[in-house]
Structure 1
């Protein structure tokens, strides 16, 4: 359900600037926390003498925490306020991340990562909803994509911090930097305010219940279809970032530093893709925007098979990142317009975090295909997922009414 937003259409107001700055910073610090685990996982595994299964479950426990936090804080944000909940979720995941500095057993790692997931899981929906309720409809795609770029900046910061800290002080010290987000809470509480749309919805006292996402068969199908799309989005991202660097090391004989250059090029491609997708979404509408990017992502995957040297590898990686991850901010934009104000944050958190939980297992499937198949099979698997998402997207009736606003 669409709602009117602020009157500014060209220049950003001061509250709008603070909304974008705060959500971008929140997403950056959240992704930095997630990438800390990726960079430190080998050290944690060796230090605690973990099996592959035990180490793999750390990410799964984090994703479970994200789903739990997404449900809890989505409902709380829709009931008590987005800004108030936003500051609490940041506080929880910041302290839980820093607590990893004192994790000297597998049980402690699982507990702290679950708590970090609880805090991080609540942030996405709150941040996206704040943007959706602060900007006109023809700017939501651009602004949510701009905020999503913050997550990529967080990945770069994590890579730099890990390279400098782990060899010198060890993996425990890396997680101390999780306290950095606490400083963001001060600025959020000082400069962000609840939107007029939320105040109106709270005054109406409409019930905030998860079952409202499935209230009718049509709405239940819409929610399920959007979960399929976000699952594919997360599955593609995990496959791209977790497996392709090692695949390229074997294919072209790259060193770890060489694959790191590929990852940076891919992240730059992702960030540029987000900027472009946001503009395309606002100008052409979701069906055309997602349709083009999903089809292009399915095709771009096979470009990896054509790489013969480092230059073509960088081009293929950046191109794939552009189309595959450029869509990330768009999901929050369409969910925010498809669901009413009083259940908007819950919808964003539930749909995306279910996608995170299920999509995160793509690494296991890709690992199996790598052990028993070929690179072509891996790319075909991921391409089939994007095509599934395309068909699913086209089957959502309400997306047809989200036509682009006339310019």
Structure 2
């Protein structure tokens, strides 16, 4: 009883957040939410957009061509995500808030421009540049929250922040259910230009973190990319790259192919086209809610059992959920309901990304933190681009979506053997 009373009292004694910390968090969260919305819009409008643009580009809009072109555009988008590591050194040199606003502005403008595409080449260019902006937002938002929030709050701050990305999935699904169905894919891309307003607010309302200001004033400017591969950080940099690669492969295999899988199963169940699209939107909403719950459950678990055991738990859950949904339920005679039920499990364990928002900042000092965060996430996206292209080729070759995606569960099993090489930072304060 005393221990319960003590923990309740400790929770009440948490350091209060000031106005700047609150405004900064909501700016970062809103950017991350709209980032998630933006990245998932493409998954939802892939088929109608390519069906219209492929004939204008000289290609027949056959299901095979739509699938192959979609995979190529996904891969280009991920390459853009990968190139987003450029934002990290900029943020370590010029500050978190200005560069964070720059990432939001970039992905918003080029998502809006995608609505003006006349052919697949234009769409590919716009999505590539939008990917560069989207890729930088997570690293800078995660770095900002870790540095600006008090030590006794920043762990939960990481979980709260990560919910934004999946709230964006939910928002994209809601927009597709309403705007997308009635006004088409171009209107969906236009909604992606809204984050420009958030970028302006970040610039005007959010103050720079004190940790960065102190580090910037008290040290010589280093070459952060070189330093994260020096003897002090080399091992943890590469281990983080591998673990993030596995998480990203799972995200893009499971979440991005989910709408297509639901539409196929709904069509197979006899639904009309618009009803199948609405069902995919509802399924995406369920996936998003589950992932938000997974993000919120993760920080307390990481504080109780440690970062490494928590990630192992979530990776195991991802492996089981991907195999169960795409490897089993997808092939059942009446698989729509079981598949959607598995999506809830897949969504919950997809909350593993919240751990990286919490864990990565703890592994690097302030002077190189944004660079390390951006590089590790970018590395995973480059590999994810290659895996996504191979998945598209496998789907085309095997004439099925389920098995190729289900095989990505093996990546999470491999990740269980990598986790022991990562540093355990439970109980440690954020390094200066």
Note if 1:61 corresponds to 2:87.
no
Partner of 1:149: 163
Note if 1:387 corresponds to 2:413.
yes
Contact 1:145–1:330 (Cα < 8 Å) also in 2: yes
> In structure 2, which of residues 173, 176, 189 is the aligned counterpart of residue 159 of structure 1?
173
Note if 1:403 corresponds to 2:426.
yes
> In structure 1, which of residues 110, 122, 142 is the aligned counterpart of residue 124 of structure 2?
110
Note if 1:333 corresponds to 2:358.
yes
Contact 2:111–2:130 (Cα < 8 Å) also in 1: yes
Partner of 1:25: 30
- Partners of 2:50 and 2:254 lie apart in 1 by 22
Contact 1:96–1:113 (Cα < 8 Å) also in 2: yes
Distance 1:161 1:352, change over 3 A: same
Unaligned runs of 5+ in 2: 1-12, 60-64
Contact 1:141–1:329 (Cα < 8 Å) also in 2: no
Provide the TM-score with structure 1 as the length reference: 0.87
Q: Cα offset for 1:143?
A: 1.3
Note if 1:35 corresponds to 2:43.
no
Any idea what SS the aligned residue of 1:179 has? Answer: coil
Q: Cα offset for 1:292?
A: 1.8
Contact 2:93–2:221 (Cα < 8 Å) also in 1: no
Q: Cα offset for 1:372?
A: 3.8
Note if 1:133 corresponds to 2:138.
no
The 5 A counterparts of 1:198-213 are 198-203=212-217, 204-213=219-228
- Partners of 1:359 and 1:264 lie apart in 2 by 24
Partner of 1:353: 378
Distance 1:48 1:311, change over 3 A: closer
The 5 A counterparts of 1:289-304 are 289-304=310-325
Partner of 1:122: 136
Partner of 1:5: none
Q: Cα offset for 1:81?
A: 0.6
> In structure 1, which of residues 318, 324, 347 is the aligned counterpart of residue 344 of structure 2?
318
> In structure 2, which of residues 285, 289, 302 is the aligned counterpart of residue 268 of structure 1?
289
- Partners of 1:202 and 1:405 lie apart in 2 by 23
- Partners of 1:182 and 1:302 lie apart in 2 by 39
Note if 1:9 corresponds to 2:14.
yes
- Partners of 1:141 and 1:299 lie apart in 2 by 27
Partner of 2:201: 187
- Partners of 1:314 and 1:149 lie apart in 2 by 20
Unaligned runs of 5+ in 1: 1-7
Any idea what SS the aligned residue of 1:12 has? Answer: coil
Provide the TM-score with structure 2 as the length reference: 0.82
- Partners of 1:320 and 1:55 lie apart in 2 by 23
Query: Number of residues paired by the alignment?
Result: 393
Distance 1:272 1:75, change over 3 A: same
Q: Cα offset for 1:114?
A: 2.1
CA deviation string 1:21-43 (max 9, x = no partner)? 11110011112111222222222
- Partners of 2:409 and 2:120 lie apart in 1 by 36
| RMSD of aligned Cα (Å) | 2.7
